[in-house]
Structure 1
C-alpha cells in the first residue's frame, strides 16, 4: 500500500512539473475558462487612434515636420508661432591647449551658460566627408599644368586613384555642431491694423530677439576661441537634408541642387537677376539661330 502511495505522489510531481514547463494551468478545466476570459477582454479593448498596426511603418518624416509652418527669414517657424534660429559652431582644439588655456575656456563657457535665462539647445550632426571636390581640383590642376614632369604626373594620378579608393573603402565622418535658439511670439500682445502688418511685426520681433541672443553667444564664445556663424535659409535646409537623407546625401550632394536648379520647385520661384539675364540671352540666341537656319533652308 505504501508503495502505491509513493508511486502516486511521484507521478503527481512529474505531472505538476510538466504542466509548469509547458506554462499551462495545473488543473485542466481551468484552461478553457482562462481562454474565454482573454477573448472577452480583447473584445472590450478599444483601439487607440494613435496606435499603429504591426504591418504599417510609422511616418517619421511627416510626424517630425507636422508642426513646422515654413522656413523663412533665416528661421524655422512652427504653427504655434515658435521661431527657431540656428547657428553653426566651429570648435576649438581643446586638448592641444595648455592647462591654463583650458581653464580659461571652461570659465568663459560656464559664465555664458550662467548668464542665459532662455532656452538653448545643442545639436550634433555626423556628416560624410566628401573628398570628390578636392580630388577633382587636383585632377584638373594636373591636366591644365604644362610644366610638370612625367614622373610628377604619374605620382599625381596614382595619388588621386588611391584617395578615391580610400574614400570608397573606408568612409570618414565629421561632426557638425549647432546652437538652436527658440523664441515664442504671442500675437495677442501685438497691435496691428491689418493681417499683413501683424505678420510682419511677428517675424520682426522674433528675428530681433533671436538675433540678439545669437550675438550674445557669438561674442561670449569668441573669447573661448569658438566661431559662431548664423545659418541662412539654405543652411537650415542643408542641415535638415543631411538629417533625413544621411545615406543619400553621399551620392546626391546638397551643393549640387542649386547648380542643377533643383531648389526651384516651380517656374514662378524666385530667381536672381543674373539668372534671368542668362535665360533671356540664351532664348535670344536660340531664336536668332533658328531664324538664320530657316532663311538658309
Structure 2
C-alpha cells in the first residue's frame, strides 16, 4: 500500500528521508578541525582587540576602530515632569549633534554582585569598633546574600554606545612600520576618546553618564553575546581564573604622551563647555533685553516685513 494523506492524495517521498537509502555521513571532525574563536572573528571582519578598541576590516587602505562605552541608566518614574522634560531636551541636543557614526545596542545581563559582596565580606572583618559576634553576623549575612544571588536569576538591561573612528594613511607619518602602527593606534585612541568625552559631557546632565570599556570589558560583552546561557552560570572572570589566562590592557605610547593627550582632550572639552555656558548666558541676556523692549523673541514669525519676501498685504486682506 502507498501512503496517502487525508485528501486521498499520494504523499510524495523524499529520497533523502527514504529509509531505503543509506544515510550519508560527512567526514568526522577531529579536534584539530574545529573552528577557533580567532577564525570566527576573522570571518566577521575583526582584525584585533586591544587597547580597549576593536579593529575591523575596511576593504581599503584605511583602518577602522570601534570603542564601546556603557551608558548609565536612570529611572524616569523617580523624576518630576520638569526633570524628565529637561532630560529629553538634553538627549535631543545630543542626537542632533552627532557627527560621526554611532550605534546603540542593549543587552540583557544577569545582575552580578559577586566581586562587590566578596570585597564587602573581607572589609567587614576589619571594621573598627566591632566585636567577634558582629563580624560573624556580618559575614553570615553577606554569605546568605551570595547564596541567594547564585540561586536566583535577576536580569537588567545594559545599554552600550558604539563609537567609530577611521584613520586614513595621510593622517600618520613614520619611518618604520612600527612607528606607523604606533601612530595609527594613538590617532584612533585620540579620536574615540574625544567622541566619548564630548558625549559624556552632554549625557551626564541627563543622568546617563558614559563609562568606556577596557579590553577585558570588550571580551566580556562578546562572551555574553555569543554565550547567552552559559554566561549566566559561569562568569568570564571564573573562566579566566580557571584557565589561568592573562588579559591586560596596554598602549604603545609612554605615560607622558598618553597623559598629554588626555590633558589636551580634557582642555578641549572644558573649552567647549565654557563656550556653551557663555553662549547660553549671552542668549538669555539678549532675550531679556528683547522682552524689555517689547519684542517677541520666541515667536516663529518675525515682524520685519521689509526683510521678507512674503506678501503680508494679501495676508492682512484675509482678516
The 1-side partners of 2:119 and 2:173 are apart by: 55
Task: Give the TM-score taking structure 2 as reference length.
Answer: 0.55
In 2 relative to 1, CA 141–88 (structure 1 residues): closer, same or farther, beyond 3 Å? closer
Corresponding residue of 1:90: 72
Tell me which residue corresponds to 1:174.
156
Q: How far apart in 2 are the matches of 1:119 and 1:187?
A: 20
2-structure distance, mates of 1:129, 1:248: 12
Higher-helix-fraction structure:
1
C-alpha separation in 1, matches of 2:155 and 2:235? 16
Structure 1 residues 199 and 94, CA gap change in structure 2 (3 angstroms): same
Deviations 1:17-45 (A, max 9, x none): x88814449xxxxx9xxx9xx99xxxxxx
Pick from 90, 102, 111 the counterpart of residue 108 of structure 1.
Answer: 90
Larger Rg: 1
Residue equivalent to 1:295? none
Deviation, 1:97, is 0.6
- Give the secondary-structure state (helix, strand or coil) at the position aligned to 2:71: strand
Q: CA deviation at 1:193?
A: 4.1
For the aligned residue pairs, the C-alpha RMSD in angstroms reads: 4.0
Aligned length: 223
* 1:136 shift after superposition: 3.7
Check conservation: 1:241, 1:254, Cα contact below 8 A: no
1:234 corresponding residue in structure 2: 216
Partner of 1:71: 49
Cross-structure match for 1:262: 245
Q: Distance in 2 between matches of 1:225 and 1:252?
A: 29
TM-score by length of 1: 0.59
Distance 1:264 1:110, change over 3 A: closer
* CA offsets 1:198-220 (integer angstroms, 9 cap, x no match): 33333233222222211221111
Superposed CA offset, 1:175-200 (max 9, x none): 32221111233336755544334333
Give the direction of change, closer, same or farther, for the CA distance of 1:164–1:198 in structure 2 (3 Å limit).
closer
Judge conservation of contact 1:122–1:180 (CA < 8 Å) in 2.
Answer: yes
| C-alpha distance in 2 between matches for 1:188 and 1:23 | 71
What secondary structure is seen at the aligned counterpart in 2 of 1:223? helix
Residue ranges of structure 2 left out of the alignment (5+ in a row): 16-25, 249-319
Distance 1:142 1:264 in 2: 30
2:201 aligned partner: 219
More moved, 106-115 vs 60-69: 60-69
The residue that corresponds to 1:14 in the other structure is: none
